Amino acid sequence: MVTSNRFAVAIHIMSLLDLVKDERLTSDQIAGSVNTNPVVIRRIIGMLAKAGLVQTSPGVAGASITRPLDEISLLDIYRAVQSQTQEELFAIHDKPNPDCPTGRNIQSSLEEFFAEAQQAMEDKLASIRLSQVTQSIASKI
């Protein structure tokens, strides 16, 4: 049960693109900041591009953010990189023992609570703008 760090890496990438917007950063340079493999960076930039959050040009290094940071919420970024196979924040184990009263009822009982938690998280992410993140970073540099 490993939680993906794609969301945090995507925010890191977009923040870096804004804070160093005068440069065309390569995936190697971005990977150096994130401390990961450039392939991971290219994959995530591809997801962000598909969601319309960044723009890339074939054969040209770098990416650029497509709209003002005040118009990009953390929820936009979260949805851009969220895996289609893992739509919910919390997964429910899929094979509880049906002969056990708890096992038989755990899934339906948890679904409602997990859906509420997912919605609360998404509401909070929708209220946070990428500009807030980059301002926080810039104030610490």
One-letter amino acid at 39 equals V
CA distance 56 to 62: 7
Spatial distance between the Cα atoms of 138 and 118, rounded to a whole number of angstroms: 30
> How many angstroms from the chain centroid is the CA of residue 34?
14
Q: What is the pLDDT of residues 113-132, one digit of tens each?
A: 988 998 999 999 999 999 99
CA separation for the pair 133, 17 (Å, rounded)? 12
- Return the closest-CA partner of residue 21 out of 82, 88, 66: 66
Tens digit of each residue's pLDDT (9 = 90 or more) over 2-41? 457 899 999 999 999 999 988 889 999 999 999 999 999 9
pTM, rounded to two decimals: 0.85
